[in-house]
Amino acid sequence: MCDDNHKGLIPYTSLTRRQFAGLAAAAGAGLASPAAAQPGKVSERDVEVRAPDGVADAALFHPEGAGKWPGVLVWPDASGLRAALREMGRRLAAQGYVVLVVNPYYRSGPASATAASGTGQDAAQRERRGAMRALLTDEAVTRDAAAFVAYLDALPQTSDAKVGVQGYCMGGAMAFRTAAVAPGRIGAVGSFHGGGLATQNPNSPHLLIEKTTARFLVAVAKNDDAADPAAKDVLRESFARTGRPATVEVFGGNHGWCVPDNGSYLAAEAERAWSALLALYKTGLV
């Protein structure tokens, strides 16, 4: 499932790459496939990033051939780095970006051991995921974010353009923190069904907006908005007060709708969110 704070709403399904592409093809005529990166057009490999707390495994994608492209950091949802996130990385790279999809749980093991499997909802997995998430303190995420952005910047394929960062579910807050830790490099932030972006806590992600220089796209799930309708207003007020260009929109999907192996995946709204992300990057990653 996408987020343990949304119990019973987001069943996770383990998909092979072929099954994933088939799901996209069946989504409906006129929708772009989530596996839109054509074979031979995108180079990919597993990489290791040296961070202050250890060595993080990640998946790296970029267009084939000579050239330099803007970098993008992708924070997965609570189910971790897995086939669905890799497909999304391939698709984004095919649009002309150097994409790093990270394993946020590297402190607990590699993605092969920490990503959700099966439905992701059995008691043992939920308990372990809770323990892994407990290690992702604000300070830990901040250290990781700085290391991941520095890694992207050091790649020979990465251009001098601003870097983008996008996050799903728990990754939404991580994307905000990334923009605050590297304000000189992050030019655009995308949060998709991000959780806990505007809270009463002193470490609420929305309080970091003033430390950023990026453009923002905050795509809110309709059931998240129903549960906390004031959050979007707090975000809009924060963006307006700080002068940060931003779009905060409630989409028609429930929490997790953007990631194709989530039970709440909604193809039409996922494609609309994807198009908005590409428009954000076209403007912000210059």
- Mean per-residue pLDDT for 251-255? 98
**pLDDT: which is higher, 32 or 123:** 123
* Residue 124 confidence (pLDDT): 81
**Per-residue pLDDT for 25 more than 60?**
no
For residues 162-186, give the mean pLDDT. 98
For residue 286, pLDDT over 80 is answered with yes
Residue 10 lies inside a defined structural domain of this protein:
no
Distance, in Å, from the CA atom of 227 to the CA atom of 49, rounded to the nearest integer, reads 37
Q: Which of 27, 83, 73, 36 is nearest to 179 (CA)?
A: 73
Q: What is the pLDDT of residue 137?
A: 98
- Is 9 inside a domain boundary? no
Look at residue 218 and tell me whether its pLDDT is greater than 60: yes
Q: Cα–Cα distance between 184 and 171 in angstroms, integer?
A: 20
Is position 217 within any domain? yes
**Cα–Cα distance between 210 and 278 in angstroms, integer?**
24
Q: Note the pLDDT of residue 164.
A: 98
The residue range of the domain holding 189 is: 17-284
State residue 11's pLDDT score: 45
Q: Which residues pair with 58 in a beta bridge?
A: 47, 102
What is the pTM assigned to this prediction? 0.89
Residue 131 lies in a domain: yes
| Maximum mean pLDDT: which of 23-37, 40-54, 236-250 | 236-250
**pLDDT (0 to 100) of residue 27:** 40
Tell me, what's the pLDDT at 36? 47
What per-residue confidence (pLDDT) applies to 22? 47
pLDDT at 121: 63
Residue 75 lies in a domain: yes
pLDDT higher than 50, residue 277: yes
- pLDDT of 75 above 80: yes
In a domain, 197, yes or no: yes
Q: Is 155 part of a structural domain of the chain? A: yes
The answer to whether residue 70 scores a pLDDT higher than 60 is yes
Mean of per-residue pLDDT scores for the chain: 89
Identify the band that residue 222 occupies on the pLDDT scale cut at 50, 70 and 90. Answer: very high
Q: What is the CATH number of the domain that holds 53?
A: 3.40.50.1820
- What does the pLDDT read at residue 120? 56
**Number of folded domains that form the chain:** 1
Q: Flag whether 77 is in a domain.
A: yes
Mean pLDDT along residues 28-51: 67
pLDDT reported for residue 119: 56
